[in-house]
Structure 1
Amino acid sequence: MKQMARSIPILIFTLLICENTFVFAAQKATQKPLNFVFILVDDLGYMDVGCNNPKTFYETPHIDQLAETGMRFTNGYAANPVCSPTRYSIMTGKYPTRVDATNFFSGKRAGKFLPAPLNNRMPLNEVTIAEALKEHGYSTFFAGKWHLGPTEEFWPENQGFDVNHGGWHRGGPYGGKKYFSPYGNPRLTDGPAGEHLPDRLASETAKFIDEHREQPFFAYLSFYSVHTPLMGPKPLVAKYKAKAQRLGLTNQKEFAEEEQVFPVKEKRRVRILQNHAVYAAMVESMDRAVGKVLNQLEESGLAENTVVMLSADNGGLSTSEGSPTSNLPLRGGKGWLYEGGIREVFLIRWPGGTKPGSTCDEPVISVDFYPTILDLAGLPAKPEQHQDGVSLKPLLKGMSRLDREALYWHYPHYSNQGGIPGAAIREGDWKLIERFEDGSVRLYNLKDDLGEQMNLAIKYPERVSSMRQKLHRWYRETDAKFLRAKPNGPQPWQPGK
């Protein structure tokens, strides 16, 4: 009798667990899968948006609203200081060094030495995030800049996307009337004369979203903006010219000297003031297009079931091609391994999962998007695919740290923007840059020196040694390539030599 009395509570407890398990399973079975909208902005600087820089000259209310309803990562990075490699990293969850996709496709500029070998296509055997989601019933959509292969067999429709509006081999809107229709783009039909490209891409994305209310989708909006050519709608350009006058920004010093790559043909300058009216118009036009997509999610009743991610492929253009923006206090810009070239706008809104308006200071990088999307979708991780990324779900749920040793960058090229061939590692607050022409190093503490002005390498030799060992180990793991000698020229530095 006593034995039976003791068994009754256990039986009740077991039945309750079974009932709760059944209810949870039933709820999960009826719950709609999450949708995903990924927005990538070309050449957008970290300091170009209001949520990162309240004093910015540009106006980005829709991106700022996205930050207020999601999580803003203050130490978010691109995997490379130029476009194609970072785009590869998002699609695959891997560092681009693994396939020698280490420069824009296909930049082969020489300097004192020849650059490292460059693979100018994303291999077709890569399983992209679009392909991974398609396997689980997702409809997939791409609009905008692709720049991941020279011929059409490497374009979006052959890399997992059901729909492709505008993605081909070019890295900018260089056909037709460029940012205005007719576009001269074989994957984008022309609109009415004068139609603006960012608005058109947003309209196509919004249309896809509305047509897929009843099935899970992955929509990837990859703006050509705010990449050159520097062109903006005339009314907005006029607006920002007047704003610059009103704020007294037209007669201030706009440029300072930047570090030079030798031999010096023309001194490199860096923009130190945000007052470029055309660029400001381009930023606002892009932001309005972001707003169109976000508004469509609301109108279609999908906002609460859709994860939205927004980032950029490299830092703001501050040292070349018109130098339209300033990244200060970050040093350098696109094409440089300084923070201005790799630190990015990095936003994720996960309704019901992330506290609105939250921030995270943990260093994260573009290879992390792939495993994060799989994790949030409740799909199995595939580390053999996204082998360098880690899921950011713990951070989105409120954890402050990830179990990761370091972040890495590898750029063995002479950039169009004046950047110096090299690599970098970030470990905690510390960042080490190793230059490939001579093997020299710079060590910075980003917590105390965000502008990377104080080289601490001599002061902390043990830290330099430790970080360098990890960086060199990473070179070996990823089969990294380095600068090459010109015919009959001197040999460049190589790791371990």
Structure 2
Amino acid sequence: MNRVFHGWSTAMLLLLLFNSCKTGKKNDSQTIAQPNIILINIDDLGWRDLGFMGSDYFETPNIDALSKKGIVFTNGYAASANCAPSRASLMTGEWVQRHGIYTVGTSERGRSQDRKLVPTQNTETLSDEFLLLPQLLQDNGYATCHAGKWHLSDDPLMSGFEVNIGGSHAGHPKSYYPPYKNIELQGKPGKRLTDLVMDKAINFVKDTDKPFFLNYSPYAVHTPIQPVPELIGKYKNKPSKLGQDNAEYATMIENMDTNIGRLLATLEETGKLGNTFIVFTSDNGGLYTVSKQHPLRAGKGSYYEGGIRVPFFFVWDNAIAAMQRSDEPISNLDLYPTILEVAKVKAPITKNLDGKSLIPLLTGNKRGFDRALYWHFPVYLEAIAKENENRDPKFRTRPGSVIRYGKWKLHHYFEDNAVELYNLETDLEEQNNLAEAHIQKTKELLQLLKNWRKNTMAPVPSALNPDYKE
């Protein structure tokens, strides 16, 4: 009897040990299944403003090295050509006509006598009816931190973040040196805001023992252009074949890059880098008066390529192969479903998701999507310089919509029903309007654009402005 009991108890002990080992493995897999997520969303950083994107002037060694560890998308886009709507679309995963944030401030930008139409009214604060990406992540076990520019409401703590580092409705600091005035952070004399925001973001990464989501969105490199004094000398006489020559702006880019290097070093020191999904992008194209993006046309605020095409890459050890480049068109609308899939979190079936998860592209299971990308801008945005590459010297853009499908891109403007068609494979500069030469393609894309506006209830302004003077 004792032998039987002893044999039974030994068997039970072995079974318990086996189950314990299995449970341990399951917990390990759960940890791997919920990686840390860092979204780096730089403000006003142009497509050409980095070494890995071809700049021979700006110095970004940390970002360049990071980009080589994953996949770079050369046809990456923001959902809008300026900051607030782009950020709202990223956080909601929805096209601008769904959340109604089209621009910063009023939609009546520019002189009234130059605006032919009465623009659609703009929304300045993101409605709390939207389920935001950080809210879903927080509800599913993530520690969440916003660091830097928010620009969608007064307090990101009300939008799914448990830590807020300097985020508010402010679109840019009044000064990068203390007192920062409109940014509620206190820095020691001479402490640059970009450095201070990263100091606090690093503290968050070190202190949390949960899977975390860090929305790192420094106010840099948005205006005011305030140089880092000790860096300016190296850029003053530096040559560039691309015509990039803004030394003060270059110091801001290098300082931003240095801080990202600090963040990466912290991840390595804490052993968290290997289990961290990293996205790097910009909220819109570069500011034309600060840094031109040739061969792309125009810049921030325009729906030519210079205003909406942005640097974009992804890094995730053991999941995304290194040293990859893709010309597949993607949008920051895709980040919401992509990040949810990384976190193994499902959105409610009632949630509008206007982008696609990029995981099949990132992991090599799919080569591309057969889809169009769309932009809608039913308002006005005035020009900031008479010499520009826009349609006219008065506005960066006038009310209209844009579609890109494959190599073709079509602009449709509402004031005069004008249509522009470009083949981006042969005319990245958008100089040769092919609308009349390719009538069938023009009709096809215009119809797709009209159908999309109808299906999404996108407002198209038609009322004439009584102040308008031709």
- Per the TM superposition, whether the score is higher than 0.5 is yes
Q: Deviations over 1:204-259 (max 9, x none)?
A: 111100111x211101111111111111111112221142xxx388xxxxxxxxxx
RMSD: 2.2
Q: Deviations over 1:88-120 (max 9, x none)?
A: 011011111212211124453144233221111
Corresponding residue for residue 144 of structure 2: 140
Alignment of 1:281-292 (within 5 A): 281-292=251-262
In the alignment, the residues of structure 1 paired with residue 255 and residue 30 of structure 2 have an alpha-carbon distance, to the nearest angstrom, of 41
Q: Deviations over 1:334-374 (max 9, x none)?
A: 01111000001111111111001211211100110010001
In the alignment, the residues of structure 2 paired with residue 469 and residue 231 of structure 1 have an alpha-carbon distance, to the nearest angstrom, of 46
Compared with structure 1, are the counterparts of its residues 490 and 472 closer, same or farther at alpha carbon in structure 2 (3 Å cutoff)?
farther
How far did 1:170 drift?
A: 1.5
Kept in 2, the 8 Å contact 1:49–1:58? The answer is: yes
Corresponding residue for residue 75 of structure 1: 75
In the alignment, the residues of structure 1 paired with residue 103 and residue 365 of structure 2 have an alpha-carbon distance, to the nearest angstrom, of 34
Query: Which of 191, 211, 217 lines up with 1:216 in the alignment?
Result: 211
Kept in 2, the 8 Å contact 1:141–1:219? The answer is: yes
Compared with structure 1, are the counterparts of its residues 425 and 24 closer, same or farther at alpha carbon in structure 2 (3 Å cutoff)?
farther
Kept in 1, the 8 Å contact 2:337–2:353? The answer is: no
Compared with structure 1, are the counterparts of its residues 29 and 335 closer, same or farther at alpha carbon in structure 2 (3 Å cutoff)?
closer
Kept in 1, the 8 Å contact 2:50–2:59? The answer is: yes
How far did 1:78 drift?
A: 0.1
Equivalent residue letter for 2:168: W
Corresponding residue for residue 245 of structure 2: 275
Corresponding residue for residue 64 of structure 1: 64
Corresponding residue for residue 390 of structure 1: 356
The answer to whether the aligner puts 1:488 opposite 2:466 as a matched pair is yes
How far did 1:414 drift?
A: 2.3
Kept in 2, the 8 Å contact 1:436–1:482? The answer is: yes
**Which stretch of the first structure deviates more once superposed, 274-283 or 92-101?**
92-101
Query: Which of 274, 294, 299 lines up with 2:264 in the alignment?
Result: 294
Alignment of 1:97-108 (within 5 A): 97-108=97-108
Kept in 2, the 8 Å contact 1:182–1:194? The answer is: no
Kept in 2, the 8 Å contact 1:406–1:428? The answer is: yes
Equivalent residue letter for 2:137: L
- 1:424 is paired with a residue whose SS is strand
Gaps of 5+ in 1: 1-18, 250-271, 493-497
Corresponding residue for residue 13 of structure 2: none
Equivalent residue letter for 1:361: D
In the alignment, the residues of structure 1 paired with residue 187 and residue 369 of structure 2 have an alpha-carbon distance, to the nearest angstrom, of 48
Query: Which of 111, 115, 130 lines up with 1:112 in the alignment?
Result: 115
Gaps of 5+ in 2: 1-18, 384-394
In the alignment, the residues of structure 2 paired with residue 444 and residue 384 of structure 1 have an alpha-carbon distance, to the nearest angstrom, of 36
Compared with structure 1, are the counterparts of its residues 312 and 471 closer, same or farther at alpha carbon in structure 2 (3 Å cutoff)?
same
Compared with structure 1, are the counterparts of its residues 443 and 30 closer, same or farther at alpha carbon in structure 2 (3 Å cutoff)?
closer
Corresponding residue for residue 419 of structure 1: 396
The answer to whether the aligner puts 1:434 opposite 2:419 as a matched pair is no
TM-score, structure 2 length as denominator? 0.88
In the alignment, the residues of structure 1 paired with residue 364 and residue 82 of structure 2 have an alpha-carbon distance, to the nearest angstrom, of 31
In the alignment, the residues of structure 2 paired with residue 229 and residue 467 of structure 1 have an alpha-carbon distance, to the nearest angstrom, of 39
Corresponding residue for residue 300 of structure 2: 334
- 1:146 is paired with a residue whose SS is coil
Compared with structure 1, are the counterparts of its residues 61 and 22 closer, same or farther at alpha carbon in structure 2 (3 Å cutoff)?
same
How far did 1:273 drift?
A: 2.2
Corresponding residue for residue 157 of structure 2: 157
Equivalent residue letter for 2:79: A
In the alignment, the residues of structure 1 paired with residue 266 and residue 28 of structure 2 have an alpha-carbon distance, to the nearest angstrom, of 27
In the alignment, the residues of structure 2 paired with residue 282 and residue 30 of structure 1 have an alpha-carbon distance, to the nearest angstrom, of 37
Corresponding residue for residue 325 of structure 1: 291
Kept in 2, the 8 Å contact 1:485–1:491? The answer is: no
Equivalent residue letter for 1:227: H
In the alignment, the residues of structure 2 paired with residue 195 and residue 242 of structure 1 have an alpha-carbon distance, to the nearest angstrom, of 27
Compared with structure 1, are the counterparts of its residues 358 and 204 closer, same or farther at alpha carbon in structure 2 (3 Å cutoff)?
same
- 2:51 is paired with a residue whose SS is coil
Equivalent residue letter for 2:163: V
Q: Deviations over 1:281-317 (max 9, x none)?
A: 1111111111111111111110000111111111011
In the alignment, the residues of structure 2 paired with residue 44 and residue 351 of structure 1 have an alpha-carbon distance, to the nearest angstrom, of 25
The answer to whether the aligner puts 1:48 opposite 2:49 as a matched pair is yes
Corresponding residue for residue 447 of structure 2: 469
How far did 1:413 drift?
A: 2.4
In the alignment, the residues of structure 1 paired with residue 465 and residue 96 of structure 2 have an alpha-carbon distance, to the nearest angstrom, of 27
In the alignment, the residues of structure 2 paired with residue 30 and residue 83 of structure 1 have an alpha-carbon distance, to the nearest angstrom, of 34
Compared with structure 1, are the counterparts of its residues 219 and 248 closer, same or farther at alpha carbon in structure 2 (3 Å cutoff)?
closer
TM-score, structure 1 length as denominator? 0.83
- 1:46 is paired with a residue whose SS is coil
Equivalent residue letter for 1:313: D
In the alignment, the residues of structure 1 paired with residue 193 and residue 349 of structure 2 have an alpha-carbon distance, to the nearest angstrom, of 36
Compared with structure 1, are the counterparts of its residues 23 and 168 closer, same or farther at alpha carbon in structure 2 (3 Å cutoff)?
closer
The answer to whether the aligner puts 1:451 opposite 2:429 as a matched pair is yes
Equivalent residue letter for 1:433: H
- 2:380 is paired with a residue whose SS is coil
Equivalent residue letter for 2:211: P
Compared with structure 1, are the counterparts of its residues 440 and 308 closer, same or farther at alpha carbon in structure 2 (3 Å cutoff)?
same
Corresponding residue for residue 124 of structure 1: 128
In the alignment, the residues of structure 1 paired with residue 198 and residue 187 of structure 2 have an alpha-carbon distance, to the nearest angstrom, of 13
How far did 1:401 drift?
A: 3.5
In the alignment, the residues of structure 1 paired with residue 108 and residue 200 of structure 2 have an alpha-carbon distance, to the nearest angstrom, of 34
How far did 1:416 drift?
A: 3.5
The answer to whether the aligner puts 1:183 opposite 2:180 as a matched pair is yes
In the alignment, the residues of structure 1 paired with residue 463 and residue 27 of structure 2 have an alpha-carbon distance, to the nearest angstrom, of 64
In the alignment, the residues of structure 1 paired with residue 164 and residue 221 of structure 2 have an alpha-carbon distance, to the nearest angstrom, of 20
Q: Deviations over 1:148-175 (max 9, x none)?
A: 13xx3xx20100000111111121102x
In the alignment, the residues of structure 2 paired with residue 365 and residue 437 of structure 1 have an alpha-carbon distance, to the nearest angstrom, of 27
Kept in 2, the 8 Å contact 1:66–1:347? The answer is: no
Kept in 2, the 8 Å contact 1:93–1:385? The answer is: no
Equivalent residue letter for 2:270: S
Equivalent residue letter for 2:199: S
Compared with structure 1, are the counterparts of its residues 47 and 384 closer, same or farther at alpha carbon in structure 2 (3 Å cutoff)?
farther
In the alignment, the residues of structure 1 paired with residue 32 and residue 330 of structure 2 have an alpha-carbon distance, to the nearest angstrom, of 30
Corresponding residue for residue 3 of structure 2: none
Corresponding residue for residue 38 of structure 1: 39
